[in-house]
Structure 1
Amino acid sequence: MKFHDQDMLAVVCHAPQDYRLQRVKRPAAGPDEVVIKIASCGICAGDCKCYAGAARFWGDQEKNKLSYVKPPVIPGHEFWGHVVEVGEGAAEHHGVKVGDRVIAEQIVPCGKCRYCKTGYRWMCEVHDVYGFQRDVAEGGMADFMRLSKRAVVHKIPDSIGFEDAAITEPLSCAIHAVNRGDIQLDDVVVIAGAGTLGLLMIQVAHLKTPKKLIVIDMVDQRLELAKTFGADVVINPGKQDAEAIIRSLTGGYGCDVYIETTGAPIGVTQGLNMIRKLGRFVEFSVFGKDTTVDWSIIGEEKELDLRGAHLSADCYPVAIDLLARGLVTSKGIVTHTFALSEWEQAIKVAASMDSIKVLLKPDA
């Protein structure tokens, strides 16, 4: 990797709960590469769970699972910024120039595995995601960032505001998850979890005009926001019997589509109980620990269509278009913005119930 003589400020992940603010070498653009000045980088639930040491990221000796994270690495995959340097051939390769507002998909596909070759690059077998793999995918919690030759880069129109641009990555993931639900006009849809992803899924699912859109969350303020985004019914399971309410609204059968984005095991078991036979269950969350369920519910009892939703598929262009047309908004979702040097407080707030989406910005 090429570097400038100058250095820059970056958060560097060394191990679980060992992240440090450091001066590191600023990347330079090699052939077909682009360097961007970071405008903002969001902190997602996965970042918080990685920081806390979840086995999903750091491996599990008992299960002979190796660490996915390759430290030391600069974290952050919800980034966007302005092009400040293009390497030889990069303008043609990526279709960008200095000054453009751009974003790169969170995964850097290898282009060689069976998934990349058959059009499923988000499932790339190598699976280099920005912010986790050091060699080709240093992340966006820094002043500057290098986008490699293999990066999938998209322009962000000037008409899209700062905070809307900042939610492009999670919105792309939300669109993919909703698409996996294959929502029909006569469906009763339940979205469990009204964090950043859930609130974006609500807006996207509302555009599909299902018969009824129901949202479940433990935080009343988030449920109120869900109503403004198109939820027909909101349920706080800490105060109400969610399953009883949904059965009362569906003739006793249960919902047609259940999208799980709580990140908590109860979100899974709750959904398996309240979805109807032959329903479509979409699992999106990143979990911090294992979930145990009676799998006979999936097969013997209900014959469910169980679908995973991973990353963003080919949804970045759709996300950018929806934001440009004002059909999806970040209003009320981006709750906190911190300077890069305040990263420790930012992660703490992001991991709490006092925030929805937390952004990091380079220090002025």
Structure 2
Amino acid sequence: MSAVVTYAPGDNRYEEYPVPALSDGEILLKVRGCGICAGDLKAYHGGIRVWGISEADRYIEPPCIPGHEFYGEVVETKGDVGDFQAGDIICAEQVVPCNECYFCKNGTYWMCTRSAVFGFKEYANGGFAEYVKLPKTSLKHKLPKTFTKEQSVLVEPIACGMHALEQADIKNDDVVVISGLGAIGVSMCNLANLKLPKLVIGLEIRAERAEMAKAYGADLVLNPTACNVAEEIMKLTDGLGCSVYVEASGSPRSADQGLAVLCNHGRYVQMGVLSDLVSADWNTIGDGKELTIIGSHLSAKVYPAVIRGIEKGLIKTDGLISHCYKLADWKRAYETAECDPGAVKVMLEP
């Protein structure tokens, strides 16, 4: 089969790769589409979160096939795979839990200590390929036949956004700030708005994304390069600050900004993967504002809700997939995702 294979930072190769052989309980999926995540781009550029500073703390295990935002058609099964059968259109959650560690046994599988995410391990190759193997312990979900390829690819990123907002525990009197309006951030404007908070504010420097976020439920969008975000948020909140700040940009500057604009007893959610270490005034967090700092990792049991929400029309998807390329054209797809001002979510298809 054809696949994009990662060998080292900056060394992805489009080449022929063996079609995966199945073991008991596994499924072979013919990939129909796979989104490009910011994590895929950071991995390509040698991001420390993925490559570490030595082999001892390296997360990725090359050679491996990237891509965790995939869906496809079941073409082969082996042994007991539940009620999945050839012809089903399905997606899989991005994590491949071990089902043996403390967290898996307690039901919090997304915090599995083995922490295998599709696309970063050779035994959990991802969807930048014609076929992908779904291990026995992976979590699979059938998709409605009415779903478009765009809706199908978006289940994974939207699920990550939904989990982040669940961590934020939004109430109807909250002022919610979402920093970074990529596909997930824009979708979170939609999801946050469904909670009926007092105000949803987006932070974004790209005008196209700002306009989309407004159509998706943001009451207003501020451009951090064009205004003093802290001053504007204080004006909008009678000098108190926002009650929820979701960091979805991965920018260290955004993280510091979040602590500054939160009100007393505010809730900070770190969802974006930060590009560098961040220093903070812990007196602001503790003795100053008594803030709650919350992490958000992967998608945590929300796939069924996301699929239902898209099917009911409550969760929007129009326009989130801005570009689609063939797998062989992966370099151009990466460049578009990184450099095109009009890019939101870019997907690949075999």
Which residue does 1:255 correspond to in 2? 242
Structure 2 residue corresponding to 1:299, chosen from 286, 289, 296: 286
Is 1:116 paired with 2:107? Answer: no
Q: Does 1:345 align with 2:332?
A: yes
Q: 1:87 aligns with which of 65, 78, 103?
A: 78
Residues of 1 paired with 2:326 and 2:218: CA distance? 33
- Tell me the SS of whatever aligns to 2:145: coil
Report the RMSD for the aligned CA atoms in angstroms: 1.1
Report percent identity of matched pairs.
41
**2:154 counterpart letter in structure 1:** I
CA displacement, residues 175-220 of structure 1 (integer Å, 9 cap, x when unaligned): 0001111000011110111101101111110110101111111111
Is 2:34 the counterpart of 1:41? Answer: yes
Q: Which moved more, 1:163-172 or 1:20-29?
A: 20-29
Within the candidate set 4, 13, 28, 2:6 is matched to: 13
**1:196 matches 2:183:** yes
8 Å contact from structure 2 (residues 241, 262) kept in 1: yes
- Counterpart in the other structure of 1:358: 346
Q: Does residue 98 of structure 2 align to residue 107 of structure 1?
A: no
Aligned residue for 1:130? 118
Specify which of 264, 267, 273 is matched with residue 260 of structure 2: 273
**Structure 1: any 5+ residue segments left out of the alignment?**
1-7
Q: Deviations over 1:31-83 (max 9, x none)?
A: 1110011010111111100100011000124xx96110000000110000010
Q: Deviations over 1:214-266 (max 9, x none)?
A: 11111111111111011112111111221111111111010000000011111
Q: CA deviation at 1:308?
A: 0.4
Give the secondary-structure state (helix, strand or coil) at the position aligned to 2:25: coil
Q: Which amino acid aligns with 1:80?
A: Y
Aligned length: 349
Distance 1:233 1:300 in 2: 31
Q: Offset of 1:126 from its aligned partner?
A: 0.4
Distance across 2 between alignment mates of 1:88 and 1:116: 23
Distance 2:340 2:103 in 1: 37
Q: Which residue of 2 aligns with 1:4?
A: none
Aligned partner of residue 49 in structure 1, secondary structure: helix
* Contiguous gaps of at least 5 residues in structure 2: none
Which residue does 2:136 correspond to in 1?
149
1:66 and 2:40 matched? no
Per-residue deviation, residues 123-154 of structure 1 (Å, max 9, x unmatched): 0000111000112x010000001101111111
Give the TM-score normalised by the residue count of structure 1.
Answer: 0.94
Check the 8 A contact 1:54/1:289 in 2, yes or no. Answer: no
| Structure 2 match to 1:182 | 169
Residue 282 of structure 1 and its aligned partner are, at CA, apart by: 0.5
Q: Distance in 2 between matches of 1:288 and 1:204?
A: 26
AA in 2 matched with 1:165: S
- SS in structure 1 of the partner of residue 28 of structure 2: strand
Contact 1:79 1:140 in 2 (8 A): yes
Other structure's SS at 1:341 match: helix
Partner Cα distance (1:229, 1:58) in 2: 35
* 8 A contact 2:252–2:275 mirrored in 1: no
Higher mean C-alpha deviation, range 268-277 or range 323-332:
323-332
Q: Partner residue of 1:3?
A: none
